[in-house]
Chains A and B, each alone.
Chain A
Amino acid sequence: MMLEINNLHARLADGREILKGIDLTVKEGEVHAIMGPNGSGKSTLAGVLAGRPGYEITEGSVLYHGKDLLALSADERARAGIFLAFQYPVEIPGVNNMYFLRAALNAVHRSRGEPELDAGQFLKAVRAKLKLLDIGEDLLQRAVNVGFSGGEKKRNEIFQMAMLEPDLAILDETDSGLDIDALRVVANGVNRLRAPNRAAIMITHYQRLLDYVVPDVVHVLSHGRIVRSGDKSLATELECRGYAFLDDAAA
């Protein structure tokens, strides 16, 4: 089993409870979509899984490949194969994008006991992935996310994901604010990563992305709980009826 979330409760430093008992199981090879209105706890769930500071887990457990995920630091989780595509990728002035990626890739390689890539091998791998994803090389020589447009930032996230080849990719509203070309790049990135031994969780507000990446399971998150799960048709239903019906369902 890739990921098992049991009765997960999490709150912010100010005491507000955001996740109120999440149960979710993700098997190898699956793509899950998590939808829900603003403030339902989608990004919190992504943050908690990736180890973002600022949340307190008050109850429940998360097992990743059968081990306690919550005991690991953010970088240990990353090296264990969890990748979070940020909703708001962070700017790091002065740090070259390529240099950053190579440092990350080598950190992952070291932890797996694999040899580090030398500059030549790395560049070769980078070029191959860029071509595959149809991303221009111009992003590489700039500082990490500095001065990138919204679309460029998201492409950069997908490019990093493709390079790091995670076991479990979590995409936090990577589709929001993208034009159709950028959306295709994102979808292409996720689809190319699909494999029997990998999984992905796509957090999204809209159904649009799911036309390009067909999920195995769709969950609806509301007020910190998963209130419905189903197949792709659930997303279509949400698209037609909006999130309002959730309140009826909850009531």
Chain B
Amino acid sequence: MTMDTIDTVQALTSEGYKYGFFSDIEADEAPPGLNEGTVRFISAKKGEPDWLLQWRLDAFRAWQKTVQPDWAKLRIAPIDYQASTYYSAPKQQSGPKSLDEVDPELLAVYEKLGIPLGERAALAGVAVDAVFDSVSVATTFKAQLGELGIVFCSFGEAVREHPELVKKYLGSVVPQGDNFFAALNSAVFSDGSFAYIPPGVRCPMELSTYFRINAAKSGQFERTLLIADKGAYVSYLEGCTAPQRDENQLHAAVVELIALEGAEIKYSTVQNWYPGDAEGKGGIYNFVTKRGACRGDRAKISWTQVETGSAITWKYPSCLLEGNNSVGEFYSVAITNNLQQADTGTKMIHIGKNTSSTIISKGISAGRGQNTYRGLVKIQPKAQGARNYTQCDSLLIGDRCGANTVPYIEVRNPSSRVEHEATTSKISDDQLFYCRQRGLSAEDAVSLIVNGFCKEVLKELPMEFAVEAQKLLAVSLEGSVG
């Protein structure tokens, strides 16, 4: 039943290619560089309608007017946006070849995890929409979902098949000019996932996208748009990985979630992009804009993320709590080892009455890793009775790493209540000795204690993800204790 990761991706790839989304297009890659021509090339390749081309061009012009922000606590090597390739479709003959392209070390990691991609799908009937490089090449379980009226497809397909939905919601949560990276994504996004859950429908399975950056020098700019109509429910899983490369690769995704009245979206991410080697060479720049809007009363959006990969992670999955009694949640584990840097957190914007939000953030720093929680809780004047509870805990392993907690709390309504707590600690020698006295190796002991530290977040993950996440934590911390 279990398929190997490679086989799965490969199978999905070749199968997907049979659909021949782009078989009439000869060139597979956009020439390097970024200008209006690039944007037009991408749009033309994808056979997009004019309104989307104009939308992209607006984004490109907005991008040109902004500069890469520098407010985060990050050291980023200069990025040459003109040197990247902004579009690459998988070549037919590259299917078999990709076996060799996958890094053996990465394979070893998956073996250690014991959870290949295919198994996830098999485990619980997960619908996998594999994003291989930039183009979504296959979507499974489509028919079954279709019976319930659920749309789950690649973004490109959604543009063709459901233009009215895309037009209505695209950019409605993250506008084109929102920030530098969102503008870049809006201009050149290649593909991504789209899901629409009709009113009152509870999606019977976890929807899942598997992201993977493969080609060298190709930034990945996928775009995810999820809409849960009134009273609908969906749980969405996002897994990320990338083969090892010496140069840094940029990943600038945008995720937009819309939950209408009484709807609930649960969005879980396990991010394991290549973090670079022990000396900090290579690795993914993961600069992502994720935002959800609770557009109706009693809507709920819950973000859960386990961030173990990437050289640099820069993301703040956020909630706009517009509807009365709407709920936002953010559960996060971020690990930085070696020279990894993470600046992550959330924004909870309380707009409607009796809105509530919960933030639980666990940061683990090891090696020379730098880990920053940065979060905003904003209670607007009309958010009567709003509530927020925030807890940020940091764990340091070794004395070469850093942990920062930077909360912003802005309150404009006296009937609201906001509580924030943060602690910083280390794994105590007593805890380590106790575990080792019971027979656990030092690494197993650390992994056990760290998993305990992250428990409140891990328990939010769907079962099959939780197992993977636990093992990922252990793998990420390898070499962090002597």
Within 8 Å by CB, do A and B touch in the complex?
yes
Cβ-defined contact, B437 with A51, below 8 A: yes
**Whole-angstrom distance between the Cβ of B438 and the nearest chain A Cβ:** 4
Bitwise, B305-332 to A at CB < 8 A (1) or not (0) is: 0000000000000000000000000000
A to B contact number (C-beta, < 8 Å) = 84
Bitwise, A63-101 to B at CB < 8 A (1) or not (0) is: 000000000011101110001101001111111000011
Cβ-defined contact, A52 with B452, below 8 A: no
* Of B434, B449, B453, most A-chain CB atoms within 10 Å: B434
Q: Which residue of A lies closest to B441 (CB)?
A: A75
Residue A204 CB within 8 A of the other chain: no
Docked pose: A78 CA to B452 CA in angstroms: 22
Residue B5 CB within 8 A of the other chain: no
CB within 8 Å of A: which of B443-476? 444-445, 448-449, 451-456
Residue B440 CB within 8 A of the other chain: yes
Given A93-B453, A94-B454, also A78-B448 (CB < 8 A): no
Given A94-B454, A94-B455, A95-B451, also A107-B439 (CB < 8 A): yes
Docked pose: A54 CA to B449 CA in angstroms: 21
Tell me the dominant secondary structure on chain B's binding face: helix
Docked pose: A91 CA to B453 CA in angstroms: 12
The contact size tier of chain B is 20 to 34
Given A74-B436, A90-B434, A164-B439, also A103-B444 (CB < 8 A): yes
| Residues of the A chain whose Cβ atoms lie less than 8 Å from the Cβ of B83 | none
| Residues of the B chain whose Cβ atoms lie less than 8 Å from the Cβ of A73 | 436, 442
Cβ-defined contact, A92 with B437, below 8 A: no
| Residues of the B chain whose Cβ atoms lie less than 8 Å from the Cβ of A103 | 440, 444, 448
Residue B429 CB within 8 A of the other chain: yes
Closest 3 CB pairs of A and B: A94-B452, A94-B455, A95-B452
| CB pairs A–B below 8 angstroms (12 shown) | A51-B433, A51-B436, A74-B437, A75-B435, A75-B436, A77-B437, A78-B440, A95-B448, A95-B449, A103-B448, A104-B439, A107-B444
**What is B's interface to A at a CB cutoff of 8 Å?**
428-431, 433-442, 444-445, 448-449, 451-456
Given A94-B456, A103-B440, A164-B439, 14 other A-B residues pairs in contact with their CB atoms under 8 A: A51-B436, A73-B442, A75-B435, A83-B437, A90-B434, A92-B435, A93-B452, A100-B435, A103-B448, A107-B438, A107-B439, A107-B440, A107-B441, A108-B439
